[in-house]
Amino acid sequence: MIIVVNHKIKDVAGFWGSAQQSLPKLPENGVKRVLQVLPNADNTEATCLWEAEDIATLDRYLREKVGDMSSETYHEVNTAGAMGLPA
């Protein structure tokens, strides 16, 4: 499943530090990969495109990695109607 995650980041250094440590270790626990990471200018928000088993699995993974350093909203991508998805 392809999932869009909108991150509101409270602890910029902690969040991005965790990402640098965690992302190279994927796939892990039903989370296959992150396809795109699109931070805003000051790194306090980001929209990311993930491939994971489902939203609940991805949320558990993120909570383990970033705890309360950020809050997220999620939506499943309608891949049949999407354009420009990475292969």
Tens-digit pLDDT profile for residues 28-38:
999 999 999 99
2-76 CATH: 3.30.70.100
Tens-digit pLDDT profile for residues 6-63:
999 999 999 999 999 999 999 999 999 999 999 999 999 999 999 999 999 999 999 9
Question: For 8, how many CA atoms within 13 A lie in the half-sphere containing its CB?
Answer: 4
Question: Which pTM value belongs to this model?
Answer: 0.92
Domains of the chain: which residue ranges? 2-76
Smallest CA-to-CA distance from 4 within 84, 66, 64, 65 is with: 84
State the helix-helix crossing angle for 55-66 and 12-22, rounded to 10 degrees: 120
